[in-house]
Structure 1
Amino acid sequence: MENKKIAHDPLVLLARRAAAAGAQVLSGRDEEKFNTDEKSAAGDWVTDFDRAAEEAIRATIFTARPNDELTGEEFPSQKPANPSGYRWSIDPLDGTTNFVRNIAYYCSSVGVCQRQDDGTDLWVAAAIVAPALQVEYFAGRGQGAWKHDLRTKKITQLTGPVESDAKLLGTGFGYDAERREFQLSVLTELLPDFVNIRRIGSAALDLCLVAEGSLDAYAEFGTQEYDWAAGALIAEETGTPVGRPVGYPGWQYAGLVDTSKLVSPKV
């Protein structure tokens, strides 16, 4: 069972309710209702489920905290007249390709940050719900990271990966061919440190798998904030080294990875 502090933290509770609201939409998966469109490139899909899940998440947050800023993947930012200093970053359906192809690794991801006096963002609460896997991950700053098995109702604290001679690396690839070529070149440098790689198809769940120790490391170039907003805090709260991209594009990483090899592309 999670500790009492995180069990009653209002931001964590709201993040969990919001992610669950999005996942509830996704649990109604129906191929006849996808209405699939392409965004940046072939295979970069968005469906009516992406949009409906984001609407459900936004409504949940706005009802509880109307003065918080809302940013997400599918709709413009929602800025209040009297901002609270808190901003939510929403990925309503991380792993849309998996969702469309009926691969279980997709989720709703919700993270919230607080603007600091120096202008930086401090990520303070996060929740991710994967409906097909029937699992929830959540974290609060300074309160640890947790996994909730929605079938058994069991909640366990996550402790991250441990040193191993058989390390697994998680990664992902962009839709642009030139970016994939660059990513592969870096992957070639990273591979000697690992026995194999996994490509899950959801950055949010990759980070959660590092948090629970199923993956030893994750590194991907070119992710957007909503991809990692929740998952990075969940991994970080296990004591796992985490790097968030500075600007866009950049490297997102977590776990036992040699960061000196995460170079930038040659311009």
Structure 2
Amino acid sequence: MSTNPQPKHLQGAPSAGKPETGAPQVRRELLAVAREAAAAGAAVLAERGRGRVAADTKSAAGDWVTDFDRRAEMAVRDVIAAARPHDAITGEEYGHTDPAEPSGYRWSIDPLDGTANFVRGIVYYCTSVAVFGPVDGPAVPAAGAHPAKMKTAPAQGAVAPEDGNSLAADGAAMDTGTHGWLAGAINAPALGTEYYAAAGDGAWLIDSTQVAGSGSRRGGSATRAQRLHGGDQNEAGKLLATGFGYDADRRQFQVGALLGLMPGFANVRRIGSAALDLCLVADGTLDAYAEYGTQEFDWAAGALIAAEAGLPVLRPRTNPGWQAAGYLDFDALPAEQATH
């Protein structure tokens, strides 16, 4: 019998199979912070008017950053720091922040996932917030108790979780059940949707575009959260979602890999937000998602939401690596060949 039934990090709830302690309440408290922080970031994004938004180029053409990214990240950080002054934070725009008295919990935030969509006025963009930490760890000091002085490293040179061996270390800790992704929230203001999950408590959707009592594939309403269970594994006409990087060689590899994944799927969709791709798999709009080379803050919350919806999930252990969710053969995902 295999001693490693989940060789590629197919996790559901970190607490699965473990007796409940005081940890569920801690996770729900973390979720409340995640939802508030994601809503704060989304409120900044909701200030977007009509027309195209001015943007600066980061690493390559199409890899943009806007003032909205920066202001949304600060809004998210302010909420987390006020509620959880002893937690570390890693954000896309401002790097890694360590408290003077660390709690052992770390937040991973993408203030604007889908920046290219946002710049061009395409509605698939969101704020994503998730927290990683000890599954059965003690509650940390409340806000106001022994306030810690936060020190923020610049984005350049910051030791982010996806650097070095930390992805592998996180994966190993998840395998042993000591640590995991505990809570996550994704707020998409242009769609009027909020997705969220706490480990062991399922994945949920609030959809402000749905009138209470009316039907939709996703369900949910502005006043009632709908629990998510993914789509029908046996449904005909399956849709696979993916994304592409900015580097030409990376894109060539991704396109080739996509061709190998297409058998079993009727078509492919490219939404432009990894976080929302994962949510759309969780709510059954899409059937599966696979993308090579995303960053932790892209998938942290969405992968937890998909896992809590009962779906197989693959988190990368190397950077770059594969992030995937839904019903596809994770072992068929090819490793990128080094270029010379």
TM-score (norm 1): 0.94
Output the CA distance in 1 between the equivalents of 2:279 and 2:133: 22
Aligned to 2:190: 132
Deviations 1:3-53 (A, max 9, x none): xx88x9211111000000000000001468944110110010000000000
Aligned match for 2:36, one of 17, 21, 24 = 17
| Structure with higher strand content | 1
Amino acid corresponding to residue 232 of structure 2 in structure 1 = V
Aligned residue runs from structure 1 range 45-60, under 5 A: 45-60=64-79
**Counterpart amino acid of residue 138 in structure 1:** Y
The one of the two structures with greater contact order (alpha-carbon pairs below 8 A, sep at least 6) is 2
For 1:246, the equivalent position in structure 2 comes to 317
Letter paired with 1:153: T
Q: 1:224 matched to which residue of 2? A: 295
Structure number with bigger Rg? 2
Identity rate, percent: 58
Q: Which residue of 2 aligns with 1:206?
A: 277
CA drift of 1:165 comes to 2.5
After superposition, the C-alpha distances for 1:181-240 in whole angstroms (9 at most, x for unaligned) are 000111111111100010000000000000001111000000000000000000000110
Aligned equivalents of 2:207, 2:232: Cα separation in 1: 22
**Matched-pair contact (CA < 8 Å) for 2:52–2:119:** no
Q: Is the partner of 1:139 in helix, strand or coil?
A: strand
What are the residue-to-residue correspondences of 1:106-255 with 2, within 5 Å? 106-115=125-134, 120=173, 121-151=179-209, 152-163=222-233, 164-255=235-326
TM (norm. structure 2) is 0.74
Aligned mates of 1:44, 1:261 — CA distance in 2: 29
- Total equivalences in the alignment: 262
Query: Is 2:105 the counterpart of 1:86?
Result: yes
Is residue 51–residue 120 contact of structure 2 (8 Å, CA) maintained in 1?
A: no
Q: Is residue 258 from structure 1 mapped to residue 322 from structure 2 by the alignment? A: no
Query: Is the CA contact 2:53–2:120 (under 8 Å) kept in the aligned structure 1?
Result: no
**Structure 1 unaligned regions, length at least 5:** none
Worse-superposed segment, 113-122 or 195-204: 113-122
Tell me how far apart the structure 2 counterparts of residues 76 and 167 of structure 1 sit (CA, whole Å): 38
Q: Report the Cα distance in structure 2 between the residues aligned to 1:83 and 1:235, rounded to whole angstroms.
A: 29
Equivalent position of 1:43 in the other structure: 62
Secondary structure (helix, strand or coil) at the match of 2:335 reads coil
CA contact 1:33–1:48 (8 Å) conserved in 2: no
Structure 2 gap ranges (5+) = 1-23, 138-168, 174-178, 210-221
**Counterpart contact for 2:86–2:100, Cα < 8 Å:** yes
**In 1, Cα distance between the equivalents of 2:330 and 2:231?**
16
2:116 to 97, 117, 139: 97
The Cα offsets for residues 71-130 of structure 1, whole Å up to 9 and x where unpaired, read as: 010002110011011000000000000000000000000000104798634100000000
